[in-house]
Structure 1
């Protein structure tokens, strides 16, 4: 099975070329093509969809927001239609969200990383990590990773023993 990639907001805003949040658009676009050539499947987590939609609505003039919002809708609709290279994200159940909420105060209170002592794990990032964990359990024989420009999320990478390192 090919690799499975959960797309973080930091990458998706660059893929969509969201004004002001697209400083890495060229690199992300090249990496996207490499991943597509490697038959990678992309999952858009719920948090990525919601956060990206918020960034678009709060950015630029109305005409630019509308054009960016259309690119966003096209990509998200493709994911919901399971159009390659996308796969449908499994949105969480009420029970799962309640479990995440029980964990959130501790995650928010802990330092996100050794070099990020003034920041805890956001609820959006926690939900992406939980989706990653669910995918690892569901697809244990696949390479699976969170594609992020954020080093703490980028560290989530599952490689079964039979998969060569990238």
Structure 2
């Protein structure tokens, strides 16, 4: 199983949010490949949902804002009902995570990494520690600072004699 945490920079391209969709063709090609592979799991983190919703809510054109808002609402409904190509990681944020954010955020802010990205990184780390049988895991992002979160999770198997 390969796991891909979807960052806002990818979701805005999938949803074709104006002024944020410069990589749409590249993202859609990869998105279709991942959907059809049969071995890839797409995770939509809470921060990605909130940040994308905020971007849509701030679109100047009210007609486009309504259209994209409806598209996102349908996407969320499909995800909640298990009919979307991605899933929500329900174990994402708890009290311990809030304490982790409080500890890490001042340094992350100095590195220009916001709380949304920090929460995606935390969910990525939590998922890889708690879910067995991951072959590959990454944060799928256009943003360079999140692309380094990618690793093979191959475990060494020993043969019995």
Same-fold call, TM cutoff 0.5: yes
For the aligned pair, the TM-score class normalised by the smaller chain equals: 0.7 to 0.9
Query: Of 122, 138, 158, which aligns to 2:151?
Result: 158
Task: Provide, for residues 68-98 of structure 1, a one-character-per-residue CA deviation record: whole Å limited to 9, x for no partner.
Answer: 0111112222222333522222241133223
> Aligned Cα RMSD in Å?
1.6
Which structure 2 residues correspond to residues 1-166 of structure 1 after superposition, within 5 A? 2-39=1-38, 40-90=40-90, 91-109=92-110, 111=111, 120-142=112-134, 143-161=136-154
Name the SS for the 1:141 alignment partner. coil
Distance 1:84 1:77 in 2: 9
Structure having the higher Rg: 2
User: Kindly tell me: are residues 29 and 47 of structure 1, through their superposed partners in 2, closer, same or farther at Cα, counting changes over 3 Å?
Assistant: same
Q: Is the 8 A contact 1:80 1:89 kept in 2?
A: no
Gaps of 5+ in 2: 156-161
Task: Provide, for residues 8-37 of structure 1, a one-character-per-residue CA deviation record: whole Å limited to 9, x for no partner.
Answer: 000000000001111111111111001112
Task: Provide, for residues 109-141 of structure 1, a one-character-per-residue CA deviation record: whole Å limited to 9, x for no partner.
Answer: 2x3xxxxxxxx2211111000000011012242
TM-score by length of 1: 0.84
| Poorly superposed stretches of 4+, deviation over 4 Å | none
TM-score by length of 2: 0.87
Name the count of aligned residue pairs.
152
Name the SS for the 1:4 alignment partner. strand
Distance 2:113 2:85 in 1: 29
